[in-house]
Every structure is written in C-alpha cells, then in structure tokens.
Structure 1
Amino acid sequence: MISTHVLDTSEGRPAAGVPVELARRTADGSWLVLGSSATNTDGRCPDLPPLGVDSAAGPVDVQLVFDIAAYRRARGETPFFPEVRVVFTADPGTRYHVPLLLNPYGYSVYRGS
C-alpha cells in the first residue's frame, strides 16, 4: 500500500488540492498508471489504489507524480516546479508512506511511517 501527504512548508500547513498520480513500472519499462487522487484539506490522499501485483512478484518501481502547477495556479501563483516525480522501489506486501514537503522553489521527500 502506498500513501502520501503534501505539506506546504512556506505556509506551514497541508497543501490541499494537489493532484497526485500513482504508477508502477512494467516489464517493458513503461509506466502503468494505477490511479489518481488529490490531496484533501489535511494534505493527504486517502484513496490511492493498490499496486496490483502479488507480493511474491518481488520489488517493483513505483512513481508518484504531484501536479504542483495545478496547486500553485489555484493559489494565483506561477509555478517554478510544474510537477514533482518521485520514483522508488517498493515491496508489494509492504506499506509505504512517502510525504512531499513543498515550497515555491524547493521540495523534499522521504519515507515516512
């Protein structure tokens, strides 16, 4: 299971309304989009879909794409980073929480709990 949340560190609060897409890499190297969501008022995406592979398949590459342009434009701002792509390797049977800390000219991600 993959979960995420976005905090706007320049505002000191959750970033609501950030579109997020979840995908996994296929055997041919392309990305299979599993689903999308948007952050709620708490900055979380509670409804991202499962990876859709059996845990016996072994680790898979996963991608979260955050549409920062949509978030910034909704606030009347011009985005410097139009999107943030976070690619990581996940075990299908393990839970991963990957938060994004965002400000207008920088961002960071980490594996949370």
Structure 2
Amino acid sequence: MSGYLTTHVLDTALGCPAEGMTIDLFRIGGKDGERQLLKSLVTNADGRTDEQILPSEEFEIGTYELVFHAGSYLDGLDSAANKPRFLDVIPIRFGMNEESHYHVPLLISPFGYSTYRGS
C-alpha cells in the first residue's frame, strides 16, 4: 500500500462543510526546517479537495505542514467581522512516518479549531 494524504474542513459554527477554503501544502526539510510549497488547493462543496492533497505517486515519508486560510474563508461569510480576525491562517505541522493513508481534517469556527489524525 502506498501512502497518501487527504483532508477536509468542517465549519462547526454553521454545521456544514467549509467550501472555498484555500489550503497550502508544504514539505518541511533540511536542518533549518525550510518550507517547500508543494501545492495549493481549494475545498469543494463537501469541504474536501477535488484531489488527494498528496497522492501516492508524490508521497514521501517526512514532515509536512498544511496551512488553512481560515480568515479568508470566514471573511467570505461575514464581511462585518472585527478585524483583525481572531483566527486567520492556521498551520498544522505533522509527520508521516509510514506509507499509509494520512487524513488531517480541520474543524473550524471563528474562535477555535481542532484537528486529529482521521481515517
């Protein structure tokens, strides 16, 4: 089995998928922890990306970072919100140490978020 990476975003304040959120994927490497942007994707109506964030043919064991652009998403819902927003850009840095399916979802509201290793 080859490894791959997926995600999805759920808006817990509205009780629905977070459509239209930009997500960046970085590979973290080197002694200095340099970030290499691998791709940017946008969530669909189901709060998922239309393709795997990191498909099996691109998968490598290592450290990665998903950056969720929550502030821009929230701005699209509520243009009257206080600025700056409490949550704007949410980075989640994690390691993948085996060739397996990694699923890193984000549960978001204007004042909090959570994540976990899903299935």
| TM-score interval, smaller chain | 0.7 to 0.9
Aligned counterpart, 1:37: 41
Q: Which residue of 2 aligns with 1:97?
A: 103
Which of 53, 65, 68 matches 1:63? Answer: 65
- After TM superposition, the structure 1 stretch with the greater mean CA deviation from structure 2, 8-17 or 21-30, is 21-30
Q: How much has 1:53 moved relative to structure 2?
A: 5.5
Identical counterparts, % of pairs: 38
TM-score normalised over the length of structure 1: 0.87
Unaligned runs of 5+ in 2: none
CA RMSD of aligned residues (A): 1.7
**Alpha-carbon distance between aligned partners in 2 of 1:41 and 1:49, rounded to the nearest angstrom:** 20
- CA distance in 2 between counterparts of 1:75 and 1:8 reads 11
TM-score, length-scaled by structure 2: 0.83
| C-alpha separation in 1, matches of 2:105 and 2:95 | 15
The 5 Å alignment of 1:1-113 reads 1-28=4-31, 29-47=33-51, 48-50=53-55, 52=58, 54=60, 59-77=61-79, 78=81, 79-91=85-97, 93-113=99-119
Displacement of 1:75: 1.2
For residues 35 and 68 of structure 1, the distance between their equivalents in structure 2, rounded to whole angstroms, comes to 17
Q: How many residues align?
A: 109
